[in-house]
Amino acid sequence: MPALVKRMERCPLCGAEFDAEGQGCRPSCPMATGCKVICCPSCRYSFPQETGLAGRLKAFLERRRTHP
Amino acid sequence: MTPPAPATRHALRTEPLDKRVVAATRSVILVGNPNVGKSVVFGALTGTYVTVSNYPGTTVEVTRGTATLAGQPWHVMDTPGTNNLTPMSEDEQVTRDILMKERDYVCVQVCDAKNLRRGLLLTAQLAEAGVPFALALNMADEAASRGFHIDVAQLTQALGVDVVPTVAIERKGLAQLTSGLGAARRSGFTPRYDDAIEAALAEVEPLLPAKGGLSRRAVALMALVGDDSLREHLAANIAEVDLARLEDARRRLAARYPESLRFVVSKQRLAAVDRLHDAVVTRSRVSAASTFARRLGAWSTDRFLGLPVLAFVLFVSYEFVGVFGAKTAVDFLENAVFYDRLVPWTEAFLRWAVPWKGAQEFLVGPAGVPFREHAGFIVGRYGLFSMGLSYGVAIVLPIVTTFFIAFSILEDSGYLPRLAVMVNRTFKSMGLNGKAVLPMVLGLGCDTMATMTARIMETRKERVIVTLLLALGVPCSAQMAVILAMVAGLSLAATAWFAGSVVATLILVGWLAAKVLPGRGSDFILELPPLRVPQAGNVAVKTLARIEWYLREALPLFILGTLILYALDRVHGIGLLERAAAPVVVGLLQLPKEAAVAFILGFLRRDYAAAGLFLHYQPFMKAGTMTREMQIEVVVALTTITLFIPCIANFFMVLKERGWKTGVAIAAFILPFSLAVGATVNALMRWLY
């Protein structure tokens, strides 16, 4: 099953905010295991969840924004 | 739905509200567009004593609580964000159903003061629904700081309901908003539609039941635009003969317009909203930059002016991906890093680490022989390291990285939704359903996910056509990146031949689909965020996330593809394949025999196939010695591979979504069709190019 982190995400296409849980690839996709691509429930736009290195970079940038 | 957000400690002191658990007789329902601060208002009113449950029969959460407002006990209910009371999603349907089924309630509409136009579109529908409500102009401080001035008195007069500027996170304005709730009024701001729609409404309204939280006019409008989610409610509440009359009225009305009724009604409602918006909103201190951004935003969605904007975007992407990524970065990684250093180092390391001569030769081939001339398992012609990793890391990775940077810039700038709007118009002029544009644009990211998106189409026929077009001619991001890289080595005319061939094929198949399908269309509503200068941090994070995804998904398949090639090479299967495919590849398409392997491995990943072709022509592109013959070959090969059967992930998704019969039929159509188009392009180019 998709390896998505449960958290709120904002769709870069339509701006909808939604819970990432259950919004990953469907089991029918042979690449679903470990897949981090999220599908927006509002407009269906797909984008990878920013976890791993990207998540760490995001957290670092947010820390710098908060405490410059 | 966003969970209720607690207010800040500072705010708690400024404007205390009573938040005891109370037994209430009246209800206040919070409604509003997504992300306008509804849940913050809910949290401020109700505090921590809330219940969250799924709305019956759905997975959509609805939050309930109680509050004492102006001395009276109230039930408070937070609804999922909605842009439309004629629902287009499960969330929107839940909100509509709550308003339709609840009794004796008043609404608080929370809208984003910075985006009043969107909020007023919902206000107009609440007014049509005859719901008593008050309007909260939330984030009023941010709107003011951005130069928006809203004439609240004029808006109050025009709507006939209380309008209160609020800053929910600081609880500003909430006491004023809730103090008048007991006397909330219905709005008189009811848009008038054209004569045909008003006549149909007059015919349909008497057929509908009087009971329910929404007015007959609102339900009649939903029924006329063909809201399927209303079917159950209508079937349970009106006689079959009246249902038939309603459907007849709907069909007669729909026949009067080339567009869908949903589109016509939304357009006329929006016109009324625009008039009100322009009368009450003024904007000061508008900078030259923001004026230019708004103008550019408007151009980019225009069907004519949008084309030069799109051409500019494609040109810059091509220069960055095709020239910088595919030439400079690939050259450095492939030669300076991989072939000059990493491959010899790996070979030396394995010869040192594995002392047995037989094992050494199996892994890295005989000593002193260039790796492209032997069949080593790790370093060799089809070696896992020298081919698999060099394909994935040295050739495709720099190309997709530059493409992902370009894509993230487009995403963060707000251009992508505008592209969807612009292409939507072009699609409609082709006779295609407007909704089809979304999966097609999403296919540029990943065709597999886009195939799943075809679910938004209304009929099975439409879903099949969209799936077919996606599988046929929409290249995914990784393939698009390699295509841009190869196009960089072509002349402008050859590039035009390639782009023209693929677009013409899509239009031809789309046109045939429009002939097969009846003319009824539908629309999608996409909010356009402001066009802005992309933030470097956002672009970096988005790009990194996509690179991680690419490495995780693509690299294992590149290794698998190389393993298959290695195995085929050992059993002399490659020569066999090339000979078997020669009549088509060499005879029909007039391509080099090596292209056969690229086509077959394209089933694993399309970019793997394109990378094989890229490598074949790369020396000539780099040296600038591409002959006319080679230009034709590249255009024919790229056209055929773009139109060729989808990758394995997409194929499985097609089987799952459309069923194996349709999936196999689509593949069976695409295989000969793509070869036929390739052969036609080849013949035409050799004649005209």
Residue with tokens 């060499």: B586
- Which among B449, B527, B648 is the nearest to A30, CB-wise? B648
**A-interface mutation test, from B54, B446, B652, most A Cβ less than 10 A away:** B446
Q: What is the CATH number of domain B9-186?
A: 3.40.50.300
- Which among B34, B411, B546 is the nearest to A16, CB-wise? B34
Hey, what long-range contacts does B45-48 have (CB within 8 A, 24 or more apart)? B45/B17, B45/B19, B45/B69, B45/B76, B45/B174, B45/B178, B46/B4, B46/B19, B46/B76, B47/B19, B48/B19
Residues B169, B420: Cα–Cα separation, whole Å? 34
Determine the pLDDT at residue B313.
86
A12, B439: Cβ pair inside 8 Å?
Answer: no
Determine the pLDDT at residue B198.
94
So where are chain B's domains?
Answer: 9-186, 195-286, 309-688
Chain B residues touching residue A61 (CB < 8 angstroms): 537, 540-541
User: What is the count of residue pairs from A and B with beta carbons less than 8 Å apart?
Assistant: 118
CB atoms inside a 10 Å sphere around CB B594: 14
Determine the pLDDT at residue B501.
92
So where are chain A's domains?
Answer: 8-66
Hey, what long-range contacts does B493-499 have (CB within 8 A, 24 or more apart)? B493/B689, B494/B631, B494/B632, B494/B634, B494/B635, B494/B689, B497/B635, B497/B681, B497/B685, B497/B689, B498/B634, B498/B635, B498/B638, B498/B639
Helix (H), strand (E) at residue B607: helix B606-623
Mean pLDDT of each 10-residue bin along chain B, 689 residues long? 41 41 73 82 76 66 82 87 80 86 89 87 93 92 82 94 90 88 89 92 87 85 84 83 90 84 84 88 65 78 82 84 80 87 91 88 87 86 84 80 86 80 69 63 68 66 79 78 81 90 85 62 60 85 85 78 83 81 84 79 71 80 83 90 78 77 86 90 88
Residues B285, B304: Cα–Cα separation, whole Å? 30
Q: Residue A53 pLDDT more than 50? A: yes
CB B34 within 8 A of CB A17: yes
CB B35 within 8 A of CB B1: no
Determine the pLDDT at residue A42.
65
> Which ipTM was obtained for this model?
0.75
Residues B87, B65: Cα–Cα separation, whole Å? 25
Phi, psi of B63 (to 5 degrees): -110, 135
Residues B375, B352: Cα–Cα separation, whole Å? 19
Chain B residues touching residue A47 (CB < 8 angstroms): 411, 445, 542, 545
Closest residue in A to B442 (Cα) is A45
CA-based nearest residue to B412, from B533, B548, B527, B547: B533
Q: How far is A50 from chain B (nearest CA, A)?
A: 5
Interchain contact A4–B (C-beta under 8 A): no
CA-based nearest residue to B32, from B107, B88, B93: B107
Q: How far is B408 from chain A (nearest CA, A)?
A: 9
- Which among B446, B552, B656 is the nearest to A34, CB-wise? B552
B35, A17: Cβ pair inside 8 Å?
Answer: yes
Mean pLDDT of A41-52: 75
Determine the pLDDT at residue B14.
38
Topology adopted by domain B195-286: Helix Hairpins (1.10.287)
Residues B558, B326: Cα–Cα separation, whole Å? 18
Residues B543, B525: Cα–Cα separation, whole Å? 27
Chain A residues touching residue B528 (CB < 8 angstroms): none
Tokens of B357: 């001569």
Chain A residues touching residue B540 (CB < 8 angstroms): 57, 61
